[in-house]
Structure 1
């Protein structure tokens, strides 16, 4: 079943027994990659109920994040191979225990992200670092998640609510019968947003949430403006939201929703800020020397291979790349 068209029920939270079934299927398929009949049986199980598909997607996402995390840390290749070999020799019960232990280890293995793996496990929708996904919600709303993002869905007879746990999303909602009876709301750590017919991007950072509207209008319900009314944000506008204040945002040095198409589109952007943005899509350390931090660049950069993206920079700026490891990259002034 396609992720983009998966019809998830409200309060999607698969039963732990279904999650164990999904892990069981994952282990069996990993040990029998060429077994077409087994793949067909797994596909039949996934399509039998929306809860099965949701559990499968969560297990797949977390397994990919675990593998990427372990592979990204030098010296863990042997440990990962041992883990896989041991899982193949164990029975189903022991393999489940081993995989559970691996999940605990893997989510803490890379750059202190000990909570992110479990957020991804618990979230209704989630992406790993460098991954982008799209979903169609039961009411027809289109939800897109940027890199390293997570969101939860709470659709009932009384409300339509998306809660952004971390990262960045683009929401496209249309004129449906429930659009005006139950306007779509998005909750971030810093505020509450409401829309009926609109397309908008919400990015949640540590200190604030940025709302950028590209079509229609979005109301910021909380916090309220100085006169106690919601702030109405029109297409082309961006606002910064903290728990206390709502302020008009300065112009962006990049296109807010370009990541949906796998792009970073910059306009006279500082090199240091550009590298910080690119680093959201890759693991490890990426920075530049202070002497070149204020160099400016404009252009369209593709995100599918960040190493190729970085290789372009010395052609347009007086900089050179220095790779200490695959995961530790700095830019210095060209000699």
Structure 2
């Protein structure tokens, strides 16, 4: 894929967004047409703005579909819209879907909405995990409820983590270093894979392969700190220190898993709660129970149903969105 300098701007132009919607419509109506897929790939590779518009349109479609399907009876409206779009000719369908996708386009493209899944370059909703191939070949994975922006120029490649957690797989480029910025620090990836997680009061950096240099953290004038494969650091507003041993695999979420090692039940439920809506907690009397294992994130209700098989607990549903783990009656 061609890599051109991509300076920071409000977002792709409306014309480019309409082109992206056009490609989505054509591919949906001719899903098995190999030449069309190749032509779309070529269009996306022509300029980083094309790829950004494509990703935003795809993300917006996923967000709208996900939210609407959570509303009783909304699937009927979605099916009606889909069927209507198929009956329209391409020009009419483009006009219809452009009106939806570009609703409040000045706010969406100008990043003034304030609703991060729409205003960020790349974003996920609760329970969603997505991967993106960036213009330079870097692989960016977003965990649940995460948001990140790109700022690529001729001198640097910068990923701004606004919220949540990302996994970055990058190659070495002495001419344009790959940087990741969180609220607490700036990190440079040196040909490897690493995870950056933005918590409320700190950033956790975990390196799987290669190495990462902590270039700066807030209120720090110290020398850059190198983090090697297998190491994790906690970066606060004033310090960067080696993290305590992890009780779960830092990057397993990219494979749709939570892998625990003697993890407290309360901490485990807090982690699972990131992938589902509503309230999830446990009684204080069992909060310190420990569990180890591999748990699939695809269906968190099925995941919770596994707990009574390994621990002396029961799952209580007050509603679909209010769940507690308790001692057996």
TM-score, length of structure 2 as denominator length: 0.79
- The whole-number CA distance in structure 1 between the counterparts of 2:65 and 2:325 is 28
Q: For this pair of structures, how many residues does the alignment match?
A: 309
Partner residue in 2 for 1:220: 214
Partner residue in 2 for 1:69: 67
Partner residue in 2 for 1:264: 258
Partner residue in 1 for 2:12: 14
- The whole-number CA distance in structure 2 between the counterparts of 1:94 and 1:70 is 18
| 1:315 matched to 2:309 | yes
- The whole-number CA distance in structure 1 between the counterparts of 2:187 and 2:281 is 34
Partner residue in 2 for 1:235: 229
Q: Give the Å deviation of 1:188.
A: 0.9
Q: Tell me if the contact between 1:225 and 1:246 (Cα under 8 Å) persists in the aligned partners.
A: no
TM alignment of 1:247-286, pairs within 5 A: 247-286=241-280
Q: Tell me if the contact between 1:46 and 1:52 (Cα under 8 Å) persists in the aligned partners.
A: no
> Structure 1 regions of 5+ residues with no counterpart?
104-113
Partner residue in 1 for 2:133: 136
Partner residue in 2 for 1:159: 156
Of 38, 43, 53, the residue aligned with 1:49 is 43
SS at match of 2:274: helix
| 1:172 matched to 2:172 | no
SS at match of 1:49: helix
Q: Give the Å deviation of 1:83.
A: 7.3
Question: Structure 1 residues 319, 7: closer, same or farther in 2, change over 3 A?
Answer: farther
User: Cα deviation per residue 1:185-235 (whole Å; 9 max; x = unaligned)?
Assistant: 111111101132332110011211111122232221222797721222222
User: Cα deviation per residue 1:300-327 (whole Å; 9 max; x = unaligned)?
Assistant: 1112222221111010011111223333
Q: Which moved more, 1:58-67 or 1:306-315?
A: 58-67
TM-score, length of structure 1 as denominator length: 0.78
Question: Structure 1 residues 102, 78: closer, same or farther in 2, change over 3 A?
Answer: farther
Q: What is the RMSD computed on CA atoms of the aligned residues?
A: 3.4
Structure 1 runs (4+) greater than 6 angstroms displaced: 5-9, 37-42, 224-227
Q: Tell me if the contact between 1:166 and 1:204 (Cα under 8 Å) persists in the aligned partners.
A: yes
TM alignment of 1:24-43, pairs within 5 A: 35-36=29-30, 43=37
| 1:125 matched to 2:119 | no
Q: Give the Å deviation of 1:39.
A: 7.5
Q: Tell me if the contact between 2:122 and 2:148 (Cα under 8 Å) persists in the aligned partners.
A: yes
Of 185, 188, 198, the residue aligned with 2:192 is 198
- The whole-number CA distance in structure 2 between the counterparts of 1:244 and 1:126 is 28
Q: Tell me if the contact between 1:7 and 1:137 (Cα under 8 Å) persists in the aligned partners.
A: no
Question: Structure 1 residues 216, 45: closer, same or farther in 2, change over 3 A?
Answer: closer
- The whole-number CA distance in structure 2 between the counterparts of 1:37 and 1:296 is 48
- The whole-number CA distance in structure 1 between the counterparts of 2:317 and 2:310 is 19
Partner residue in 1 for 2:285: 291
